[in-house]
Amino acid sequence: MSSLSPEELEDIRRRLGREPSEIELGMFDVMWSEHCSYKSSKKVLKMLPTKAPYVIVGPGQDAGMVEIGDEIVIAMKIESHNHPSAIEP
């Protein structure tokens, strides 16, 4: 079952200039998923502050890290597609 919208399917056809194969559809479905592309949350994430004295690590660097006071820093997300997240590199 695909999570691609009719508009996304049409975009894929336009980009390829033909009907996509089942394998190609699966690849687009994964790469354009919320998990990989943040397609539905990207606009909301852009509203969050990214530069401030309390932002220790911002977007694009790794997990978002924010100092919340008393020298306590929290990681907003720890995930890696290249390495198991539970193992410290």
Is 83 part of the annotated catalytic residue set?
no
CA distance linking residue 78 with residue 9, whole number of Å? 31
Considering the domain architecture, whether residues 12 and 36 belong to the same structural domain is answered as yes
Domain count within the chain: 2
More reliable by pLDDT, 33 or 82: 33
CA distance linking residue 87 with residue 14, whole number of Å? 42
pTM recorded for the entire structure: 0.53
Determine, yes or no, domain membership for 1: no
Determine, yes or no, domain membership for 13: yes
Considering the domain architecture, whether residues 38 and 52 belong to the same structural domain is answered as no
Considering the domain architecture, whether residues 84 and 54 belong to the same structural domain is answered as yes
Are residues 25 and 4 in contact, defined by beta-carbon separation less than 8 angstroms?
Answer: yes
Active-site choice (7, 81, 82, 84): 81
Quote the domain boundaries for residue 13.
6-42
Residue partners of 18: CB distance under 8 A and separation at least 6: none
CA distance linking residue 4 with residue 45, whole number of Å? 21
Determine, yes or no, domain membership for 70: yes
More reliable by pLDDT, 76 or 27: 27
pLDDT confidence band for 84 (50 / 70 / 90): low
Considering the domain architecture, whether residues 54 and 88 belong to the same structural domain is answered as yes
Sheet of 65-69, strands arranged across: 55-57, 65-69, 72-75
Active-site choice (13, 35, 46, 83): 35
pLDDT confidence band for 22 (50 / 70 / 90): very high
